[in-house]
Amino acid sequence: MKLLAISGSLRKESLNTSLLNAAKSVAGDKVTWDTAAIDDIPLYNQDIDGEQKPASVDRLKKQIEAADALVIATPEYNYSIPGGLKNAIDWASRPAYKSVLAHKKTLILSASMSPMGGVRAQGQLKQILAGTLTPVFPAPEFAVATAQNKFTNGELTDTDTQQKLQRLVNDFLAWV
């Protein structure tokens, strides 16, 4: 099975990117991973969404198409998802209802420095993905709260979170 990891955070020391890395390690060798870069995707503009698209958009769409499923880890920015992630989804969402996102099974994760864990952003992401016909794994939100205390140098060191992540990823893979 081939999964595509998409982090909603662009920063180097991102807790969400670290969470994706932790998901990769618990998934084991039955899965291969590709990683999406969304930092070089221009702001969505329908005028440049024609036959010829920006190379970064072509790359993302091909990566999504080639994947059996997606794993998105998103930060919460002002109770929502970061603009960069929304922008990437907008690009990938065309043509409407027939895009590479349609029927692509997806797992949502979040990590936040707050005690809420990014759960509000997850709600918004689910709503956005409903608009792209992207089925989200039906499970209670996996939201890592006060995440700065659960990672050390980019490694998930909180054993409880690690065990729960292992269970979630196994269940997700079985669902896919």
Ligand X SMILES: Cc1cc2nc3c(=O)[nH]c(=O)nc-3n(C[C@H](O)[C@H](O)[C@H](O)COP(=O)(O)O)c2cc1C
Binds ligand X (CB under 6 A): choice among 32, 40, 66, 79: 79
Q: CA dihedral in degrees (58, 63, 64, 66; nearest 10)? A: 120
Give SS3 for 34.
strand
The interface region with ligand X, picked from 62-70, 110-118, 129-137, 162-170 by CB under 6 A, is: 110-118
* Contact status, residue 88 vs residue 36, Cβ threshold 8 Å: yes
Binds ligand X (CB under 6 A): choice among 78, 95, 138, 153: 78
Residues linked to residue 108 through DSSP beta bridges, in sequence order: 72
* 102 counts as binding ligand X under rule CB under 6 A: no
- Phi and psi at residue 106, to the nearest 5°: -140, 140
How many residues in the shown chain lie near ligand X by CB under 6 A? 16
C-alpha distances in Å from residue 16, one per residue of 43, 102, 140: 22, 24, 18
The interface region with ligand X, picked from 59-67, 74-82, 152-160, 161-169 by CB under 6 A, is: 74-82
Binds ligand X (CB under 6 A): choice among 4, 16, 36, 129: 16
The CB-of-5 to ligand X minimum distance in angstroms stands at 13
* 112 counts as binding ligand X under rule CB under 6 A: yes
d(CA 16, CA 2): 20
* 23 counts as binding ligand X under rule CB under 6 A: no
* 161 counts as binding ligand X under rule CB under 6 A: no
Which is closer to ligand X, CB of 91 or CB of 151? 151
* Contact status, residue 69 vs residue 176, Cβ threshold 8 Å: yes
Residue indicated by tokens 């969505």: 44
Write out the residues near ligand X by the rule CB under 6 A.
9, 11, 14-16, 75-79, 111-114, 116, 118
